[in-house]
């Protein structure tokens, strides 16, 4: 009996598996120096580290300086070299903004400005540029506030008299000067504005009540390199900037499919994490990515994999130029450490239909395309596998890019009779119509090719090896 009692006591004294995990994982930090917050980390802006649900989470302050650090050369995209590269490249047409009351909020404004120009027109609803977010914030100029010159952009930070605003906004309520940690101006002085029109509001940027100094935004990451999705465990006293992205998109009436922060592969010795291949996939899929270096946030919008290490294209919040950075390298002396990813639900229904004498494009003839998303060519990409349509001309309600895969039953010969094509598509008769623009052509398309149709493209549609030419009339 005594043996059993002793055994039970010993088992009770053993740590739980979670405790083992906490101790084992904490040991990896023991050799690191203490930073300004008393946290053992190579990042001076990690302000807390805590164990939750079996994993370590870090809280990172991103103060993002309004001007680039001195003594560093910021590389520009060489477009001539890019055209002659033997590797693959990809890029998105993302607005370039200068630093506007926080690098993270500015980068988020570039992200949502891109979406505003690509099917999500409610992201920006102001009067400038006919209600379409411009490619730079130069039109809004600058303002001198407490001795500092600040660029302006209503999508990043609203302000009284900016872009037609007639009430106090983000800047009036939260901003004193860069680096300020005093209570926000509105506290005990006037009623806070309703947060509704800018990324800074929703991301918690500059807000002393959320423990952010002027210019700062906070992000949370798992230390082991796993993605941390839409973190809300810090609410209501703090705000994860990634969760703020979701809140902003939802405030504009859109649905967020996924949003997460993640350290990159190899950072701080991680054997898991976000990779360059994943970044490529995001850009190819039409999704700009927030790029975090230590202390600063930028927007990634393109890549070139012909270099080693591969190169990414960024807007760095300090000018309107296209800049480059080695993936996993450093930028202006700040090491690349993490990303923030956001995917939105398709803004509009994309459908395809066939029209002929008995089916003239009426609703019963339309087949919704589920596997579609905004692509890097500012149109919708449609991956069509084993799709079958009524006989007749192919109609789309959006500009599209078609990626071929699997078996097709969408080939029509000169008599209009369908035949089955394995992994290829031949257009030998009929027309393709998108938003009233008629495109005709003949030729063949291999499974590895991509076909582009749409009113936004030049006279000839782009196609791998130019084996198909679609002429717009």
* % of the chain with per-residue pLDDT over 70: 65
Same domain, 179 and 124: yes
Question: Does 4 map to a domain?
Answer: no
Report, as an integer, the average pLDDT of 242-264. Answer: 96
Question: Does 20 map to a domain?
Answer: no
Same domain, 245 and 269: yes
What does the pLDDT look like over 105-118, one tens digit per residue?
Answer: 999 999 999 999 88
Q: What is the DSSP letter of 388?
A: B
Q: Which of 63 and 443 is assigned the larger pLDDT?
A: 63
Same domain, 319 and 374: no
Does pLDDT of 433 surpass 50? no
Same domain, 358 and 332: no
Is there a contact between 89 and 77 (Cβ–Cβ < 8 Å)?
Answer: no
Is there a contact between 48 and 29 (Cβ–Cβ < 8 Å)?
Answer: no
Report, as an integer, the average pLDDT of 434-442. Answer: 35
Residue 117 corresponds to which tokens in the numbers above?
């120009």
Quote the pLDDT of residue 404. Answer: 35
Question: Does 94 map to a domain?
Answer: yes
- Alpha carbon distance, N-terminus to C-terminus of the chain: 94
Could you give the CA distance from residue 405 to residue 423 in angstroms, rounded to a whole number? 6
Quote the pLDDT of residue 292. Answer: 98
Q: Annotate 367-387 with DSSP letters as a single string.
A: EE-SSEEE-TTSSEEEEESS-
Does pLDDT of 458 surpass 80? no
Same domain, 361 and 337: no
Is there a contact between 314 and 97 (Cβ–Cβ < 8 Å)?
Answer: no
What is the number of other CB atoms lying within 10 angstroms of the CB of residue 9?
A: 9
Report, as an integer, the average pLDDT of 393-398. Answer: 45
Is there a contact between 148 and 109 (Cβ–Cβ < 8 Å)?
Answer: no
Quote the pLDDT of residue 88. Answer: 63
Q: What is the CA radius of gyration of the chain?
A: 26
Rank 117-121, 237-241, 366-370, 440-444 by mean pLDDT and report only the highest: 237-241
Question: Does 50 map to a domain?
Answer: no
In terms of Cα–Cα distance, which of 86, 105, 216 is closest to 159? 105
Same domain, 324 and 392: no
Quote the pLDDT of residue 30. Answer: 87
Q: Annotate 206-254 with DSSP letters as a single string.
A: T-GGGT--TT-EEEEEETTS--EES--TTTTT---HHHHHHHHHHHTT-
Is there a contact between 28 and 270 (Cβ–Cβ < 8 Å)?
Answer: no
Does pLDDT of 157 surpass 70? yes
Question: Does 222 map to a domain?
Answer: yes
Could you give the CA distance from residue 471 to residue 462 in angstroms, rounded to a whole number? 10
Same domain, 360 and 424: yes
Query: The sheet that has 46-52: what strands, in order across it?
Result: 46-52, 55-62, 217-222
Report, as an integer, the average pLDDT of 296-305. Answer: 96
Which pLDDT band holds residue 347 (cuts at 50, 70, 90)?
low
Could you give the CA distance from residue 89 to residue 280 in angstroms, rounded to a whole number? 9
Same domain, 257 and 172: yes
Report, as an integer, the average pLDDT of 30-59. Answer: 95
Quote the pLDDT of residue 286. Answer: 86
Does pLDDT of 318 surpass 50? yes
Question: Does 199 map to a domain?
Answer: yes
Q: Residue 49 pairs with which residues in a beta bridge?
A: 58
* % of the chain with per-residue pLDDT over 90: 59
Could you give the CA distance from residue 78 to residue 3 in angstroms, rounded to a whole number? 76
What is the number of other CB atoms lying within 10 angstroms of the CB of residue 70?
A: 7
Q: SS3 of 313, please?
A: strand
Q: Which of 381 and 56 is assigned the larger pLDDT?
A: 56
| Range from 153-162, 334-343, 420-429 carrying the lowest mean pLDDT | 420-429
Q: How many domains is the chain built from?
A: 2
Same domain, 229 and 150: yes
User: pLDDT averaged over the chain?
Assistant: 75
CA distances from residue 193 to 44, 156, 159, 171 in whole angstroms, order as listed: 33, 15, 10, 10
What does the pLDDT look like over 63-101, one tens digit per residue?
Answer: 999 999 999 999 998 764 444 444 567 788 999 999 999
Is there a contact between 196 and 165 (Cβ–Cβ < 8 Å)?
Answer: no
What does the pLDDT look like over 232-250, one tens digit per residue?
Answer: 999 999 999 999 999 999 9
Could you give the CA distance from residue 40 to residue 48 in angstroms, rounded to a whole number? 10
Report, as an integer, the average pLDDT of 167-192. Answer: 98
Which of 344, 359, 392 is the last residue before a domain boundary? 344
Quote the pLDDT of residue 184. Answer: 98
Could you give the CA distance from residue 385 to residue 367 in angstroms, rounded to a whole number? 13
Same domain, 171 and 301: yes
Quote the pLDDT of residue 424. Answer: 31
CA distances from residue 119 to 133, 270, 344, 380, 406 in whole angstroms, order as listed: 12, 37, 11, 9, 29
Could you give the CA distance from residue 314 to residue 321 in angstroms, rounded to a whole number? 9
Phi, psi of 221 (to 5 degrees): -140, 145
Same domain, 322 and 370: no
Q: Which residue has the tokens 């598996």?
A: 17
Question: Does 49 map to a domain?
Answer: no
Which of 329, 344, 359 is the last residue before a domain boundary? 344
Q: Domain span at residue 465? A: 351-472
Question: Does 248 map to a domain?
Answer: yes
Quote the pLDDT of residue 345. Answer: 83
What is the number of other CB atoms lying within 10 angstroms of the CB of residue 208?
A: 18
Which of 325, 344, 363 is the last residue before a domain boundary? 344
Residue 385 corresponds to which tokens in the numbers above?
């596998």
Same domain, 329 and 377: no
Does pLDDT of 47 surpass 70? yes
Which pLDDT band holds residue 388 (cuts at 50, 70, 90)?
very low
């Amino acid at each position: 009996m005594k043996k059993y009692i002793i055994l039970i006591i010993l088992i009770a004294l053993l740590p739980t598996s979670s405790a083992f995990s906490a101790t084992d994982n904490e040991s990896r930090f023991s050799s690191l120096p203490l930073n300004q917050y008393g946290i053992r980390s190579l990042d001076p802006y990690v302000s807390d580290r805590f164990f939750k649900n079996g994993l370590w989470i870090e809280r990172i302050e991103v103060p993002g300086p309004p001007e680039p650090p001195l003594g560093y050369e910021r590389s520009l995209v060489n477009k001539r070299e890019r055209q002659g590269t033997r590797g693959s490249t990809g890029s998105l047409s993302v607005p370039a903004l200068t630093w506007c009351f926080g690098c993270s909020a500015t980068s988020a404004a570039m992200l949502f400005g891109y979406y505003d120009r690509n099917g999500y027109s409610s992201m920006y609803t102001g009067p400038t540029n006919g209600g379409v977010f411009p490619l730079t914030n130069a039109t809004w100029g600058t303002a001198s506030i407490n001795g500092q010159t600040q660029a302006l952009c209503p999508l990043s930070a609203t302000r009284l008299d900016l872009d037609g605003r007639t009430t106090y906004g983000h800047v009036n309520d939260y901003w004193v000067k860069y680096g300020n940690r005093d209570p926000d101006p509105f506290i005990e002085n006037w009623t806070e504005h309703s947060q509704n029109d800018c990324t800074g509001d929703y991301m918690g940027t500059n807000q002393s009540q959320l423990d952010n100094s002027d210019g700062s935004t906070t992000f949370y990451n798992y230390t082991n390199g796993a993605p941390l999705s839409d973190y809300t465990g810090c609410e209501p006293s703090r705000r994860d900037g990634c969760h703020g992205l979701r809140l902003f998109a939802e405030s504009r009436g859109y649905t967020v499919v996924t949003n997460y922060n993640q350290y990159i592969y190899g950072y701080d010795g991680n054997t898991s994490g976000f990779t360059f291949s994943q970044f490529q996939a995001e850009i190819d899929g039409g999704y700009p990515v927030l790029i975090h270096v230590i202390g600063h946030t930028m927007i990634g919008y393109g890549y070139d994999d012909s270099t080693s290490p591969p190169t990414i294209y960024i807007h760095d919040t300090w000018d309107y130029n296209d800049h480059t950075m080695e993936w996993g390298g450093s930028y202006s002396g700040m090491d690349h450490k993490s990303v923030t990813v956001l995917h939105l639900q398709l803004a509009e229904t994309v459908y395809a239909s066939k029209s002929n004498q008995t089916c003239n494009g009426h609703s019963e003839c339309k087949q919704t395309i589920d596997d579609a998303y905004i692509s890097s060519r500012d149109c919708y990409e449609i991956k069509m596998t084993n799709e079958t349509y009524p006989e007749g001309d192919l109609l789309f309600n959006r500009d599209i890019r078609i990626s071929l895969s699997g078996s097709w039953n969408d080939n029509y010969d000169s008599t209009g009779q369908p035949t089955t094509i394995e992994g290829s598509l031949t257009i030998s008769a009929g027309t393709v119509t998108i938003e009233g623009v008629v495109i005709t052509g003949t030729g063949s398309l291999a499974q590895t090719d991509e076909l582009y149709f749409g009113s936004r493209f030049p006279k000839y549609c782009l196609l791998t090896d130019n084996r198909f030419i679609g002429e717009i009339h």
